[in-house]
Every structure is written in structure tokens, then in C-alpha cells.
Amino acid sequence: MTHIRAWVEASAVDPIADLPDLNSRGPIPRVVFLGETNHFVHQKVDFRAFWLSWLAGQRKLVVAEELGWSDGRRVASYLFQHDEAALDRVATFGFAGHLRQDRDDSLQGVFSQSDYPSELMKAEHTRFYRMLRDLPGLDSFIGMDIDSPGGGYQDLVASAPELAGRTGRVTGETLLEEAARLERLLPELEPSNAPGREDLLCLIESLRYTDLVQQAEDYEAVRPAMSFRESCMKRRISALLRDLPDDCTLVLMGHAFHLARDDAGIEQQGVGPGGDLSSSLGHYIVHELGEEPMAIWMLYGSGTDSQPLTDLPRQASYPPDSINRMLADHIKRPVILPVTVDVAPHLASVSVGHLYNVCVKVDLARQADAIMFFPQVTPLTTTK
């Protein structure tokens, strides 16, 4: 506790202040991780907006969000083509025009008790995307995650005209039969049509993922689906990094545990990224692709979220020995805490609270270059 107090007193800076410690570490690297510990709080947008604005002052940015690939296509249309209606066609925000009428693709097992806050997510993300649209130096945007099943059909119309008339759905086919039918179309694509191939692959992956996760009766049974999901994100980000221009930085935004720099520094409880069957996306980027990303984590002390699982808590309640509570005892306003050499030994095994009041032992110094801390968070809202 003494070391935490000293860290706060010596290092905490207001988000509007200069960041001399981070600025002194040299040029911004090719990859930056912005890891939140809760997707469903209002302050997530403030966290992302601050760091993207700071980064855009120094580098051109390619932004990848923990959002479905096809949904990312809609967001990119909004950002770069000023298609104001594009956000109305995002599945994450409640669009259902891509869903089949002859088959129920909804989750039937452990995730059936879910009340996803689509309208609230749309409002919060629209606030964020408006900021992004005005961000100088934004080069491109993608969704790196799995889509709702079938969302990619509308993308193929534009990106793969050579498949015109070949992608019609077959009444009564199962998820796996639909995926296999689409896989047989891959050789039909022109070798030069990388966008079309990616759209088709992402559509296939969404169907295979839904088949894996749809009937899972408990969280243990979700592990294979989570592993498959992580592998899909790795494939997409690997391709993005291969073609990343020299003057751009790739910024990945998602849950902090997906963006761990070293999985060995996180003692998982429950079903973590990759289902604990395969490495997280962040670990893969560092240890298999050889990148050296800057990483910023968002933590908070208390508050309420809008998470969708009705059988799990929405009110944050972290124990006194968690880093969340220890920081909240000394911090009454949002601040940034650079992870300095002096404090690193004292962050080697701290309890980090995140979604559902789960606390996990984390070597925070191995995972993050800085923490953005909010003493209290609030649920998603439709107002600014």
C-alpha cells in the first residue's frame, strides 16, 4: 500500500497534461494496445478518445477494434465515406437484416440469458466514431472480431462480383453446411481479390464460431469457441501487419486480457481469451510476430456497468487488496499513471478487477506502459 501511494503521488498526471514519461521512451512503435477491462462503461470512450488523439499527434493510425469484421466495414463507411446511415446496419448495434428466417442462429446455451445493450452501445460508439471521423491522420479502420452469422453476405456483393449469383442461401442448411458451401467458393475468387477473399473467410468463420458457441451449456464448454475466435483475430491482424505502411501505427482496442503482452503474467480465472487453450492475440503479436507494442490499460475503482449477462453482477465490488481499490483510496479524479522502473517490482503480482467482479493476479509491469485510472465508472448512456 505504501508503494502504491508513493506511485500515485510521484507519477499521476491529469489526462489533459503532457506525458513526459511516455514521450521520453522514444518513437511510437508499430503497434499500440489500448486495453479496457470493461466494454460496457461510459468512460471507455473517453479512454479511447484520449489515447487516439495523443497518438494521432505523432503517427498516422490504423485502428482495429474488438468488433465484427463486417460491422467494421460499416463503421469504415461512416468514417471515410460519410455514410450517415452505415451505423444503422451494424449488427452489434441491433441490426438484424442479415439474419436468416429459416433457421434460429441465436445463442441457446449459457449465453441465452443475455440482454445485450444494443441501443446503448450504438449511442456510445457513435459518440466515439464522430470523434474518430475528425481525427487527423486516421488511415483506416477495421473490426477484427467475429461477426453475427451471415453479416458478410452484403460485403461480398461489392468485394467479390465474380461470385454474383453463387452465394445464395440454401433453405434448411445447417451452420456447418452453409460454411462448407461457402468454402467451396474460395477457389472461384480471383487471386488478386484480397478484399473479397477476406470477406468470404470472415463470413465462413462467423458461421463456424456460432456453431461452436451456440449450444454451450456452461462456461467451460465455451473454451473451444473462444480458442477459435482468438485464432481468427490472429489471422486478421497478421495480414494487417504484413501490409502495414512504414509511416503507420496499428492501434488495437479491446479487452485488456485479449491484448496481454505476456500470458504468463496473467493468472487466469474462468474462461479467458483463447479459452485458455491457445494464446491471447496480444501474446501472439509479441511472442510469435516479434512486435514490441506500447500498451495502455484502463482500470477503475468502483461503479456500475451495462454488461449483458443477466446472471452476473453489474455493480463493481472489488476487495481491499485489489489494485482497483488501492488506487481508488488515493485517487479522486481520472489520472494517468506511467509504469515506471521504480514501481514495476511492486506491480509484479497485483489483483486486477474487471468484468463481473472477477479479480485476476497480473504482473502489471509486464503488460502495460501506463494505466489510465477512473475512480468510478458509470453505465452506458444515450447522452453525451
Beta carbons within 10 angstroms of residue 168's beta carbon:
8
Question: What is the per-residue pLDDT across 302-335, written as a single tens digit (0 to 9) for each?
Answer: 999 999 988 889 999 999 999 999 999 999 999 9
Question: What is the per-residue pLDDT across 115-126, written as a single tens digit (0 to 9) for each?
Answer: 899 999 999 999
Is 384's pLDDT higher than 80?
no
How wide is the angle at C-alpha 233 spanned by C-alphas 53 and 132, nearest 5°? 20
Q: Quote the CA–CA distance of 76 and 36 in Å, as a whole number.
A: 22
Average pLDDT over all residues of the chain? 92
Output the CA–CA distances (angstroms, integers) from residue 105 to 97, 228, 308, in the order listed: 13, 18, 18
SS3 330: coil
Instruction: Report which secondary-structure segment, H or E, holds 370.
Output: strand 370-377
pLDDT at 341: 87
Q: Are strands 370-377 and 294-303 parallel, antiparallel or unpaired?
A: parallel
Q: Quote the CA–CA distance of 112 and 96 in Å, as a whole number.
A: 17
Q: Quote the CA–CA distance of 328 and 375 in Å, as a whole number.
A: 5
Q: Quote the CA–CA distance of 93 and 88 in Å, as a whole number.
A: 7
Instruction: Enter the pTM of the model.
Output: 0.95
Q: Quote the CA–CA distance of 145 and 45 in Å, as a whole number.
A: 19
How wide is the angle at C-alpha 13 spanned by C-alphas 7 and 14, nearest 5°? 145
Categorize the per-residue pLDDT at 1 as very low, low, confident or very high, splitting at 50, 70 and 90: low
- In the predicted model, what is the mean pLDDT of residues 349-364? 94
Q: Give me the CATH code for the 24-148+216-296 domain, please.
A: 3.40.50
Is 21's pLDDT higher than 70?
no
Beta carbons within 10 angstroms of residue 312's beta carbon:
12
Instruction: Give the cell for residue 301.
Output: 475503482
Residue 361 dihedral angles phi and psi, to the nearest 5°? -75, 125
Q: Which of 43, 9, 16, 23 is nearest to 294 (CA)?
A: 23
Question: What is the per-residue pLDDT across 267-286, written as a single tens digit (0 to 9) for each?
Answer: 876 678 988 899 999 999 99
Q: Quote the CA–CA distance of 250 and 231 in Å, as a whole number.
A: 19
Instruction: Give the cell for residue 225.
Output: 469457441
pLDDT at 149: 92
- In the predicted model, what is the mean pLDDT of residues 206-211? 96
Is 23's pLDDT higher than 70?
no
Tally the residues of the chain.
384
pLDDT at 269: 64
Asked whether the CA dihedral 276, 237, 259, 225 is positive or negative, the reply is: negative
Residues whose CB falls within 8 Å of the CB of residue 342, separated by 6 or more in sequence, listed in order? 7, 10
Question: What is the per-residue pLDDT across 66-115, written as a single tens digit (0 to 9) for each?
Answer: 999 999 999 999 999 999 999 999 999 999 999 999 999 988 877 776 78
Q: Quote the CA–CA distance of 196 and 176 in Å, as a whole number.
A: 21
Instruction: Give the cell for residue 332.
Output: 479522486
Q: Quote the CA–CA distance of 277 and 222 in Å, as a whole number.
A: 11
Question: What is the per-residue pLDDT across 221-260, written as a single tens digit (0 to 9) for each?
Answer: 999 999 999 999 999 999 999 999 999 999 999 999 999 9
Q: Quote the CA–CA distance of 350 and 149 in Å, as a whole number.
A: 38
- In the predicted model, what is the mean pLDDT of residues 32-39? 97
- Please report, in angstroms and rounded to a whole number, the separation of the first and last CA atoms in the chain: 36
Side chain identity at 233, as an amino acid letter? M
- In the predicted model, what is the mean pLDDT of residues 164-184? 94
pLDDT at 18: 63
- In the predicted model, what is the mean pLDDT of residues 127-154? 95
